Amino acid sequence: MLRELNLVIDYIEDHLTDDLSLENISDYAGVSDYHFRQIFFYLSGLTLSEYIKNRKLAEANKELLEGAKVTDVAFKYGYQSVDGFTRAFKKWSGFLPSEVLKKGLSKTFPKLSFIITVKGGTSMEFRIEEKSAFHLVGVSKRVPMQFQGVNNEIVKLAQSITEEQRREMRSLQNIDPYEIVNASYNADANFLKEEGDLTHLIGVLTTKDEVSDQLDVVPVESYTWAIFPNEGPFPSTLQNTMARTYSEWLPTSDYQVINAPTFSFTKMDPDKKDYAYSEIWIPVQKK
């Protein structure tokens, strides 16, 4: 995957003045659009569209510094109007395009190069399992995306579950893992920057079809699952494992992530405060 990522970076550099389609870029990488955007973000800290915008504006800055006209540069890098380019450039750089040559102002944004560095020789434990189709059943709601700390909206969702709903979930639960799971799916397009929402479900796995109206049902197809056990302070260990899955394991594995619900479960240690064993289940397929 690292080779593909660096090839895509070269492709972007060669087409900065073209209309770069994010879907075409993913096709060029030879993986799904969903997988590529996830990996790109976790490795770079930027969304793909944000990276392209920054590279275009950095190159525009260089040309303005060399004496190019603002109008010519604006249209060259795909802006529909000079006003639109000026607003984007000012927001990115902090100064106007017209000030670049006059005052010798410059802001850079270098081309990326991806390298995986394993720190401290820390290995990741995982296993691969095949699982037939099932349903996620439980209670769900749209919640804001949050990569770190306790998500208060999820806490409220958990507190809203009635005893009657709990009883039905227990009666439906009939496949491994026999745990209450937290599932996430249907994320907004900008969720990678923690600016969007996703649907979060608290519930169980079942193959039964008879579910009452008091529970939500999410069909999940037959998939291969990559499972990542982790143990330590909660929720930081769970969240760090998720981040490492996308930034270290997926880029160097033979798998790509599928745009389908992911889920996890957590078993708190009764003898240690805020300490837990968790598993993260991610649907994947061979590249």
Q: What is the pLDDT of residue 194?
A: 44
- In angstroms, rounded to a whole number, what is the distance separating the alpha carbons of residues 127 and 142? 30
Closest CA to 109 of 27, 35, 9: 9
Q: What is the pLDDT of residue 147?
A: 62
3 state SS of 156? helix
- In angstroms, rounded to a whole number, what is the distance separating the alpha carbons of residues 8 and 14? 10
pLDDT < 70 stretches in the chain: 1-2, 22-23, 26, 29-31, 114-124, 146-149, 189-195
Q: What is the pLDDT of residue 50?
A: 86
Q: In the chain, what are the domains?
A: 2-103 (1.10.10.60), 127-286 (3.20.80.10)
Q: What is the pLDDT of residue 1?
A: 60
Q: What is the pLDDT of residue 251?
A: 79
Which runs of consecutive H residues, i.e. helices, occur in the chain? Answer: 2-14, 22-29, 33-44, 48-65, 70-76, 82-93, 97-103, 152-160, 163-172, 236-244, 250-252
Residue 239: exposed, middle, or buried by beta-carbon count in 10 A (0-12, 13-18, 19+)?
middle
